[in-house]
Amino acid sequence: MKMNKTAHYLLGLCVLLLTFKGNAQDTNLQIIYTPEKSILNGKHIVLVAGDESYRSEESMPMLAKILSVRHGFKVTVLFPINPESKEIDPDYLQNIPGLNALSNADLMIIATRFRELPDDQMAHIDKYLKEGKPVLGIRTATHAFYYKKNENSPYAKYSFNSKVPGWEGGFGKKVLGETWISHHGAHAKEGTRASFNGILPQDLLPILNGVKDIWVSTDTYGIKSLPADAQILVWGISTAGLQPSSPGVWDKTMMPLVWTNSYSVDNSKKGKALTITMGAATDFVNEDLRRLLVNSSYWLTGLKSNIQEKANVEFVSKYEPSEFGFGKYVKNKKPADYK
């Protein structure tokens, strides 16, 4: 059927309006921070929140503001969204809208737990990894995905307990270097004190600039094995209590707490990853942990020379994180509430 010029114009206008509407809706479900031109460094970081316990929906916006306002990164923050209420719902495992932002990202910071995302969303993560782009995994990122309902998905291999040949241990093992093993420290009873590796390759030393004292209330994770070329930057000592002054539990072995890894997904381009198994929202009250994350972001995005001796990680706005624990997230929040 032929259309005249007017019909063509109206059809094009409808497509444009529908596209604009879709983009506007997506924008409402995420937060975007654009730095001042005077400090713009040309790099874009996408932070992906989505865990039921450690309040990444609170910590990711806080870190994003520091990365943007203090350090010149453009930053996008994505959240687990209940599709009916349009509210942040960490217990809703099947929806993190806006992952198409990874198409022009220079770094993905991921803090998800047991997500089972639909194929059209996971395709963006898969494409990002096949391009060999850098990844910073926080806490539960070692078990970021778990496909229970749709085991036939092409992305079920990302599950933390995957047995797919070449994908044993899923995303955690394949990309970060380790999957979920265990709580090595007593959960919610023992904290973690950092012990720094004093012998590191020259390339990695700037990551620890200004990082001197880290204690967090989350326990150490058990690590069974890391790849041969992984580099451990920080070890974790369990502490007998949930105070910074709590003594070390010396009858437990130290565990890797921060390490780097190189990865390749399905024989595609090689990429680099850095994992921090600390990372409850309350952990980031510790200044040096925030500094470690900022330094790591510079290193992973190829801006190692920009890492300062002591990076400014002062909070941009008031930060009063909720305690970790299942079912304890703040209800009825939308992304804009954390901006």
- Check residue 11 and give its pLDDT: 43
Structural domain range at position 274 = 21-183+256-338
Question: Domain for residue 201, yes or no?
Answer: no
Q: What is the DSSP string of 32-46?
A: EE---TTT--S-EEE
- Check residue 27 and give its pLDDT: 76
- The SS3 call for residue 48 is strand
Instruction: Give the bridge partners for 237, in sequence order.
Output: 193
Question: Domain for residue 6, yes or no?
Answer: no
DSSP character for 55?
-
Question: Domain for residue 192, yes or no?
Answer: no
pLDDT tens string 48-77: 999 999 999 999 999 999 999 999 999 999
Q: Which amino acid is at 180?
A: W
Question: Domain for residue 332, yes or no?
Answer: yes
Written as six digits, the tokens of 332 are 């009825």
Number of domains within the chain? 1
pLDDT band at 198 (very low <50, low <70, confident <90, very high): confident
Question: Domain for residue 245, yes or no?
Answer: no
Question: Domain for residue 251, yes or no?
Answer: no
Q: Which helix (H) or strand (E) holds 126?
A: helix 119-130
pLDDT band at 17 (very low <50, low <70, confident <90, very high): very low
Q: What's the average model confidence in pLDDT over 72-92?
A: 98
Question: Domain for residue 196, yes or no?
Answer: no
Question: Domain for residue 44, yes or no?
Answer: yes
Cα(308)–Cα(32) distance, rounded to whole angstroms?
Answer: 25
| Residue 301 belongs to domain with CATH number | 3.40.50
- Candidates 180, 102, 181; CA nearest to 142 is 180
